[in-house]
Structure 1
Amino acid sequence: MTTRRTLLTALASLTALGLLTACGEGDASSAITSGTSDQKKEGGLNLGPEQNRVRTAKVDALAAELPEAVRKRGTLVLGVSSGGAAPLAFRATDDKTLIGVELDLASLVADALGLKPEFNAVSWENLFVGLDSGKYDGVFSNVTVTEERKDKYDFATYRLDDLAFEAKKGSGWKVKGPGDVAGKTIAVDSGTNQEKILVDWSAQNEKAGREPVDIKYFQTPSDYYLALQSGRIDAYLGPNPVAAYHVLSAGQSEIVGKLSGAGDKLQGKIAATTKKDSGLVEAYAGAIDHIVGNGTYAQVLKRWGLDSEAVPKSEINPPGLPRTRN
């Protein structure tokens, strides 16, 4: 049976082929870009406030799926983490402008829906407070799909979720499982899925008669990296994109292990997050499928060196990280 989403995806694909181009505007072949002044490059990346963002055209069929209030408002109000690190969501060289892969992808989704993105940088916990209160239409901030979160939120996936253990260069150790971190001092962000995995690994070590993990918490990414270089921690477990970017740009550390953000038995997925039954998740998924199909999605991931985290299509509320066992 043909679903509404299937029909919209087909219409979006026709648009990408130029058969239903809205208002005569091009798509991937004629991406809209901004100026190039005041740019700074690091590791080949433009870190200046003028981002030359890849853009795409509005798809009327997708825009029609939006709740009327959002469509009439003309903006998509989105939350991103203020504590974010490159290349996810961070400040440009002017220390004001928000840039990063999350904003690039969110901007493409907004383009396809015919809306102007309005980004709000807040602390991690306030992302969900904003969703709960209806302040935000969605969150694009490296949020992993979990079964627990699915009770309150709807998800449209747009990237694979991989984690990485980052250690000081020349550390001489590799992480493949719980036993490899027994007795080690590992830093992690509080309230994240990587914290849950690390806590679980530590418990497994104690059950097996090994030393637990000494888990440390800091306030900002720079605090973690200072602790790493000074030898106060053995490794930092965080999102793979952040670790890969830091290894490339700083040259003082290395990746010593990678794993799925959902643990050993499931590939984690990063998703656009919206309040449950907000009426937005189908539009998000359709827009993501559209930018995957027209090539702009691949351009953004390649730009930030995250090709390996690409998804072939968006999934709505797929299996997520298992519930926490009390």
Structure 2
Amino acid sequence: MKIRIVIPLLLACLAGTACGAQSLNADPAAPASKSAQPAAQVQAPAEDKAAAVVNAIAADPALNARLPADVRAEGLKMTTSLGYPPMNMIGSDGTTAIGLDPSLGRALARKLGVSLHITDEEFNSQIPGIITGRYDILMSSVSDTAERRTNVTFVDYVKAGAGMLVEKGNPEAIKTPADLCGRTVSVVDNGSSLALAEQTHADCEKNGEKGLDILKFAGDQEALLQVSNGRAQANITDYVVAAYKAGDPKTGTEALSIAGTEALWGIALHPDNKELIEAVRDALDALIKSGEYGKILAAWDLEQLAIESALVNGE
């Protein structure tokens, strides 16, 4: 799970000012300032691994009819924070949004029969952007928490947790954190991964076993390298990051999910926008039931994040 801390709302953000946002059009061939294309023409870019699935999704006129009038007329305004692969990142052209979140955003827009505007926004400005109406939806790997529900409503779309990277073939037969007792692990020196490593270390010693030798690094790449070069037997990180890294055969690693750490991640919307909340939920549910949702996750090697039905605030 990626831990993000929302700082107190800046007055500028509450006023609806840019707060460092970069507009990204859903159609990479069109300038960001141009009106969005009709939904039938919303195209996932070639770098979107799920492009073939997304671009074949047909609009549902019944869902479109239930949308607020402004969304039907102006399109869906989505914000994401590009820089958390494989969930959200910038394409090779330096502007186009790619990753699972943009893929699903485009899929929802096509199913709803509206155009899509994607804006890259600094994370701490995103929830204020939903509150002020600058954006309709926030899709940026955001954990659905009780604290955040005081400001936004979530349509939950995946369940994600912590994971481990181990040597390809898993020669140490590591399956759970308990198997790390007496072993060397690498982590980024902050956040939930370090906390999980430290808790595992304490549990090992409490059970009379040798604790972990924890190697701390400033970034994911340095921590991953310790497994690739054999210095560490495992790298604890977010599962989505582990799966993305393991997808590169040059790393010589494979990803393991850690059971019991999963949490729902949600699409954030304004609580008062009931029509849009219900339409987004039903559009997501339709994509799940049709199998298109699963194919999109599979294209990004993230099948383990799948949920069985769309939820609102976890229910």
TM-score by length of 1: 0.65
The residue aligned with 1:63 is 64
The residue aligned with 1:242 is 241
Q: Which moved more, 1:181-190 or 1:306-315?
A: 181-190
Question: Take 1:189 and 1:64, find their aligned partners in 2: how far apart are those partners?
Answer: 49
For structure 1, the 5+ residue unaligned runs are: 1-30, 40-46, 320-326
Alpha-carbon offset, residue 314 of structure 1 = 0.6
Q: Equivalent residues in 2 for 1:45-64 (5 A)?
A: 47=47, 51-52=51-52, 54-55=54-55, 56-64=57-65
Q: Which moved more, 1:283-292 or 1:142-151?
A: 142-151
Q: Which moved more, 1:101-110 or 1:242-251?
A: 242-251
Question: Take 1:62 and 1:307, find their aligned partners in 2: how far apart are those partners?
Answer: 26
The residue aligned with 1:287 is 283
Q: Which amino acid aligns with 1:59?
A: D
**Percentage identity across paired residues of the two chains:** 23
Q: Does structure 1 retain, via aligned residues, the 8 Å contact 2:48–2:99?
A: no
Q: Which amino acid aligns with 1:143?
A: V
Q: Does structure 1 retain, via aligned residues, the 8 Å contact 2:143–2:264?
A: yes
Alpha-carbon offset, residue 170 of structure 1 = 7.3
Question: Take 2:42 and 2:65, find their aligned partners in 1: how far apart are those partners?
Answer: 26
Structure 1 residues 295 and 229: CA distance shift in structure 2, 3 A: closer
Question: Take 1:110 and 1:270, find their aligned partners in 2: how far apart are those partners?
Answer: 19
Question: Take 1:91 and 1:282, find their aligned partners in 2: how far apart are those partners?
Answer: 30
Alpha-carbon offset, residue 103 of structure 1 = 1.3
The residue aligned with 1:273 is 268
Q: Does structure 2 retain, via aligned residues, the 8 Å contact 1:145–1:268?
A: yes
Structure 1 residues 270 and 200: CA distance shift in structure 2, 3 A: same
Q: Does structure 1 retain, via aligned residues, the 8 Å contact 2:242–2:255?
A: no
The root-mean-square deviation of aligned C-alpha atoms, in Å, is 3.8
Structure 1 residues 94 and 130: CA distance shift in structure 2, 3 A: same
The residue aligned with 2:111 is 112
Alpha-carbon offset, residue 291 of structure 1 = 1.4
Structure 1 residues 135 and 32: CA distance shift in structure 2, 3 A: closer
Q: Which amino acid aligns with 1:164?
A: G
The residue aligned with 1:299 is 295
Question: Take 1:214 and 1:128, find their aligned partners in 2: how far apart are those partners?
Answer: 35
1:75 paired to 2:76:
yes
Question: Take 1:167 and 1:224, find their aligned partners in 2: how far apart are those partners?
Answer: 12
Question: Take 2:124 and 2:97, find their aligned partners in 1: how far apart are those partners?
Answer: 19
Q: What secondary structure sits across from 1:143 in the alignment?
A: strand
Question: Take 1:282 and 1:155, find their aligned partners in 2: how far apart are those partners?
Answer: 11
Q: Which amino acid aligns with 1:274?
A: L
Q: Which amino acid aligns with 1:83?
A: G
The residue aligned with 2:85 is 85
Q: Which moved more, 1:109-118 or 1:244-253?
A: 244-253
Question: Take 2:148 and 2:202, find their aligned partners in 1: how far apart are those partners?
Answer: 23
Q: Which amino acid aligns with 2:82?
A: S
**What is the CA deviation profile of residues 173-201 of structure 1, one whole-angstrom value per residue up to 9, with x for unaligned ones?**
42513572677443248556x56645654
Question: Take 1:236 and 1:78, find their aligned partners in 2: how far apart are those partners?
Answer: 31
The residue aligned with 1:313 is 309
The residue aligned with 1:186 is 186
Q: Which amino acid aligns with 1:218?
A: A
Q: Equivalent residues in 2 for 1:65-214 (5 A)?
A: 65-79=66-80, 81-86=81-86, 88-169=87-168, 172-173=171-172, 174-177=174-177, 180=180, 184-188=184-188, 197-198=196-197, 200-201=199-200, 204=203, 211=211, 214=214
Alpha-carbon offset, residue 285 of structure 1 = 0.9
Alpha-carbon offset, residue 49 of structure 1 = 9.8
Q: Does structure 2 retain, via aligned residues, the 8 Å contact 1:77–1:117?
A: yes
Structure 1 residues 48 and 54: CA distance shift in structure 2, 3 A: closer
**What is the CA deviation profile of residues 13-70 of structure 1, one whole-angstrom value per residue up to 9, with x for unaligned ones?**
xxxxxxxxxxxxxxxxxx989699xx6xxxxxxx479944523233233234434443
Structure 1 residues 116 and 243: CA distance shift in structure 2, 3 A: same
Structure 1 residues 118 and 52: CA distance shift in structure 2, 3 A: same
Question: Take 2:130 and 2:146, find their aligned partners in 1: how far apart are those partners?
Answer: 17
Q: Does structure 2 retain, via aligned residues, the 8 Å contact 1:166–1:235?
A: yes
TM-score by length of 2: 0.67
Q: How many residues align?
A: 272
Q: What secondary structure sits across from 1:85 in the alignment?
A: coil
